[in-house]
Homo-oligomer: A and B are copies of this chain.
Amino acid sequence: MKIDHLVSQIHKKKSFLCIGLDTDLDKIPKHLLTEKDPIFSFNKEIIDATNQFCVAYKPNIAFYEAYGLKGWKSLEKTMDYLNSEHPNIFTIADAKRGDIGNTSTRYAKAFFETLNFDSITVAPYMGKDSIEPFLSFEDKHTILLALTSNEGAYDFQTKRIDGQELYKEVLEESKSYKNAERLMYVVGATKAVYLQDIRRIVPESFLLVPGVGAQGGNLQEVCKYGITKNIGLLVNSSRGILYASNNMDFAEAAAEKAKNIQREMEIELNKLE
């Protein structure tokens, strides 16, 4: 998907919500467990109920891999469903991959071609030649981990390297990569004020912001420091929406939660006009 198309969807839906499909058999409503493919059944109902309120879905690959072959089948079905029924929705493989050149190309093919995702999250530790292979795919996007929303983010990411924090060094360096215009960045919302500094380094790039809600981030703060004229934000919510109810009404409850967030986003978007 081209960025322009994503931006136009944001304006159309008055939303920059991304819904994380962290589908967990231990948490989905019990009545779904008798279905042939409970993970897909759950995802399908969630997608049907929430797609009008969001512009992106983000399956967290670990949740599918944990179930082996069966999990991959559920992921494939989910992606086929999204790509055929909702081609205007941006899809993110939250895979946090990262490997050497030739191997990165394999991962890129797995997610961009075999599964037809629009984007993938990638870890920066192995440097430029582990990231550029992902960037060579046209109309596909690589979402580099910069500043994550977990406690361990303070272990290395915020430590100073050559005088500036490692995550800033990652942002800075990545701007010189080939096809850098296909980069986006993960920036945890638990640190909204950091967004000011981040915007100085990457004023235009899209940021994928996890952690609004469950992890304690605040939408107004994120917008205050992070929003650009092209919006430049995808704010993710996973558990808060998926598991709003674990009864028969789970899809409606999820839709209700998504709609509430969409409305907050609409207020923020209206401020720009």
Give residues in A with beta carbon < 8 Å to B: 22, 60, 62-63, 65-69, 71-73, 76, 96-101, 103-104, 106-107, 109-110, 114-115, 123-131, 145, 148-157, 159-162, 166, 169-170, 173
Contact = CB atoms under 8 A, between A and B. Distances in A.
A160 B163 CA distance: 9
Contact of A62 (B66, B103, B124, B166): B103
Given A68-B115, A69-B69, A115-B68, A127 B151 contact: yes
Give this chain's copy count. Answer: 2
A63 to B, nearest CB: 6
Given A126-B145, A154-B127, A69 B72 contact: yes
A169 B159 contact: yes
Contacts of A131: 152
Contacts of A106: 60, 62-63, 65-66
A242 to B, nearest CB: 13
A138 to B, nearest CB: 19
A149 B169 CA distance: 21
